[in-house]
Amino acid sequence: MNRILKYVILDIIKNKIVIFYTILIALFSWSSFSLEDNAAKGLLTLLNIILLTVPLVSILFSTIYIYNSSEFIELLVSQPIKRSKIWYSLFAGLAISLSFAFILGAGIPIIVFADFSKAFIMIVVGIFITIIFVALAFLSSILSRDKAKGIGASILLWLYFALLFDGLVLFLLFQLSDYPIEKMMVIITALSPIDLARILMLLQLDVSAMLGYTGAIFKDFFGTQFGLLLSFLLLLLWIIIPFFISLKKFKNKDL
Amino acid sequence: MRNYYLIFITILIGCSIQAKTIYVGKSGNYTRIKSALQNVNNGDTVIVSKGLYKEGNIIINKSICFLGKDFPVIDGDKKYEVLSIKASHVVIKGFKIQHSSYASLDDPGGIKIYESRNVTIEENLLSDNFFGIYLQYCSACIIKNNRVISSGKQEQEIGNGIHCWKCDSIQVIGNKIAGNRDGIYFEFVTNSLIWRNISFDNIRYGLHFMFSNYDAYFTNCFTNNGAGVAVMFSNHITMMNNTFRENWGDAAFGMLLKEISDCYMAGNQFRNNTSAIFMDGTNRIIIEKNIFADNGWGMKIQANCMDNVIKHNNFMGNTFDVSTNGTLTLNEFRENYWDKYEGYDLDKNKVGDIPYHPLSLYAVIVEGNPPAMLLYRSFMVSLLDKSEKVLPSLTPDNFIDKQPLMQAIKL
């Protein structure tokens, strides 16, 4: 496994797109911190950018990478290696290298500008989002042999989590505005990793106190140690479930 | 001839009454305050030296100067109202007054003044009383440089710091008030001044007006109260140069204005409040030259507010600058600075050429549907706001500042 992982990581690091992604995210981060007059606001601006670009790049790059290395995978399958090992290594390689790109690009300015606890959570959230969307990419690329379909599915997934889900939530809110749905909303956030990450981060930034009654409910839930632990656990589930579905499919797939 | 009479009488009185000074304490004329007070006449001075005095309810019913040396402690033992003043022209200065009783029927206080005039309460320390300083049916009194500190946990367990009921011409100056129900409470108080007080960590309001007209408060600081200031059912209040900070919480406001009219508000600073100003049934007030910075909501104006003028204010870094609950707009916004304004100024007159809509679509949505706050700062919401800015369809289109300033006003 270690050797495959090494090849994958080396291959990705050589890839120009990952370098470009690192530089892009670094530019975003440095500029959003220097544009805003205080670090908390810079962090908020950066949060918006990260929650939009990181999932997009992670899911698209991973999908394309898996399709492009289909020959490499076929070659490996013909060797006496377990299939799960191949899939694990591919996943680990992608996750590690993209997380590394994120830490290099956004992590450094975040640590430089923001105070430690907020910076820590922000970076952890960023890494989680990266890995979750790599896992989703594995799922969408295993579902279809056709590259165009797979990439299409990835883009749709990204669009759904970044945009459509919020639209649906807004629609639900209006439909159910006569009912006390605040607590239910807490559960609904768990259905989108991006929303979960955003609220986790907002609560760290103390903007939550401005959110009024709903904010208070979120704070009661996510602000506690238990809530924090639970939401990280949920993020972890968002990695595990799509990846293991894809793993199961890969094991039985006729390549 | 009459004048001569007057002078003669004055001299006569001056001769006949010689104000004396009485010392209370271990080495004084009396060891107990009560026995000293039994032997005073109008105009005398009583000086109490350092010590602990537990004498139940002490009543002052002569016009005397009652002074403490090195802050003697008068303790109500949680059973009595500590100091009751039932005479005019009394001065109380330099005491530590603590542990008054608790009763919700007759509202005992650390210092309670009954139907008197020209009483001065100065430089006292009031700690853990039910009410701090309580004035009823008083006029021309001065409450100055006191510290009223309590540690109430619930609204019903604790009274107000400085409480005035049916008073006139009161001056509340330079007091520090913390941990009470309301920091300063005015009910049926007229022609009074509140100046340079610091009111913080109170359970309900930093300052509370009810049915009080023609009053003013200047240069006070309200921090971390349930709500900074509540002005209710009053008119002709002047509010200037106050600071409202960190009044957090769902029902927390920097300033809560309810059913008030004809007021003037200028030079105040609102920072880090959940809602800086909440206006409900507020008519004909002028709000100018204030700073609204880093609040959740800059102003929440209910649709039942009329003819208010909001001009020359700075709105900076608020989550929502303005929000309202209806489509009717009867208030005027002009020449404010909005940091979210994205217009241009081609003729370089420092006034933006296109009007600013301070009401964002998301603010309207959240007002009607608070759980929508869930989507705060999501991409979807920014998209909605941007499209609404270009083509206002859901927000009232007359809710605008026609002459938004390009640069912040120096305040």
What CATH number is associated with residue B269? 2.160.20.10
On whether any CB of chain A is under 8 Å from the CB of B52, the answer is: no
How far apart (Å, rounded) are the C-alpha atoms in residues A91 and A62? 9
pLDDT at B162: 94
- Of chain B, the percentage scoring pLDDT greater than 90 comes to 55
Residue B261 pLDDT level (bands cut at 50, 70, 90): very high
The pLDDT of residue B188 is above 90 = yes
Chain B: nearest CA to A198, how far in angstroms? 8
Classify residue B50: in a domain, yes or no: yes
The pLDDT of residue B13 is above 60 = no
Is the model more confident about B386 or about B187? B187
Q: Torsion angle, CA of A193/B340/B358/A43, rounded to 10 degrees?
A: 30
The pLDDT of residue B377 is above 60 = yes
- Of B126, B83, B85, B81, residue with least CA distance to B101: B81
Q: How many CA atoms lie within 13 A of A24 on its CB side?
A: 11
Classify residue B1: in a domain, yes or no: no
How far apart (Å, rounded) are the C-alpha atoms in residues B88 and A200? 60
How buried is B165 (Cβ within 10 angstroms: 0-12 exposed, 13-18 middle, 19+ buried)?
Answer: middle
How far apart (Å, rounded) are the C-alpha atoms in residues B273 and B292? 9
pLDDT at A226: 84
- Mean pLDDT, range B172-201, rounded to an integer: 93
Q: What Rg, from alpha-carbon coordinates, does chain B have?
A: 26
Classify residue B403: in a domain, yes or no: no
Q: CA of B321: how far to CAs of B157, B271, B359, B361, in Å?
A: 36, 13, 7, 12
Shortest CB distance from A170 goes to which of B319, B372, B382?
B372
Cβ–Cβ gap A202/B377 under 8 Å: yes
Which of B81-85, B90-94, B191-195, B360-364 is predicted with the least confidence, judged by mean pLDDT?
Answer: B360-364
pLDDT at B342: 84
- Of A23, A24, A44, residue with least CA distance to A33: A44
Size of interface A-B (CB pairs under 8 A): 77
Average pLDDT of chain B to the nearest whole number? 88
The pLDDT of residue B111 is above 70 = yes
Q: Which domain holds residue A144?
A: 2-251
Cβ–Cβ gap B369/A173 under 8 Å: yes
How far apart (Å, rounded) are the C-alpha atoms in residues A175 and A180? 12
Residues 6+ positions from A44 with CB-CB distance below 8 Å: A36, A205, A207, B377
Q: Which two tokens stand for residue B171?
A: 């001056």
pLDDT at B58: 92
Number of structural domains found in chain B: 1
For chain A, positions 22-61, list CB contacts with chain B under 8 A. 41, 44, 47-48, 51-52
How far apart (Å, rounded) are the C-alpha atoms in residues B202 and B51? 30
How far apart (Å, rounded) are the C-alpha atoms in residues B330 and B302? 10
pLDDT at B307: 92
Residue B9 pLDDT level (bands cut at 50, 70, 90): low
- Mean pLDDT, range B9-32, rounded to an integer: 75
On whether any CB of chain B is under 8 Å from the CB of A166, the answer is: yes
Residue B387 pLDDT level (bands cut at 50, 70, 90): confident
Parallel, antiparallel, or unpaired: how do β-strands B171-173 and B291-293 relate?
A: unpaired
Residue B16 pLDDT level (bands cut at 50, 70, 90): low
For chain A, positions 183-222, list CB contacts with chain B under 8 A. 185, 188-189, 195, 198-199, 202, 207, 209-216, 218
Cβ–Cβ gap A218/B374 under 8 Å: yes
pLDDT at A37: 72
How far apart (Å, rounded) are the C-alpha atoms in residues B101 and B110? 9
Number of structural domains found in chain A: 1
Q: CA of B309: how far to CAs of B170, B255, B264, B266, B332, in Å?
A: 29, 17, 10, 12, 5
pLDDT at B59: 93
Is the model more confident about B383 or about B313? B313
Q: Which residues of A touch B379 (CB under 8 A)?
A: 48, 51-52, 162-163, 166
pLDDT at B210: 94
Cβ–Cβ gap A166/B379 under 8 Å: yes
SS3 assignment, position A254? coil
On whether any CB of chain A is under 8 Å from the CB of B248, the answer is: yes
How far apart (Å, rounded) are the C-alpha atoms in residues A224 and A200? 11
On whether any CB of chain B is under 8 Å from the CB of A77, the answer is: no
pLDDT at A14: 85
ipTM over 0.85: no
Classify residue B7: in a domain, yes or no: no
Contact B238, B213 (CB under 8 A): no
The pLDDT of residue B374 is above 90 = no
Nearest chain A residue to B275 by CA distance is: A210
Q: Give pLDDT tens digits along chain A (255 positions).
A: 578 889 888 888 888 889 999 999 999 999 988 887 777 778 888 888 889 999 999 999 999 999 999 998 999 889 888 899 999 999 999 999 999 999 999 999 999 988 888 899 899 999 999 999 999 999 999 988 899 999 999 999 999 998 899 888 888 888 888 888 777 877 887 789 998 888 888 877 766 555 666 666 777 777 778 888 888 899 999 999 999 999 999 998 877
Classify residue B127: in a domain, yes or no: yes
Helix, strand, coil fractions of chain A, as percent rounded to 5 = 85, 0, 15
Distinct helix (H) and strand (E) counts, chain B: 4, 39
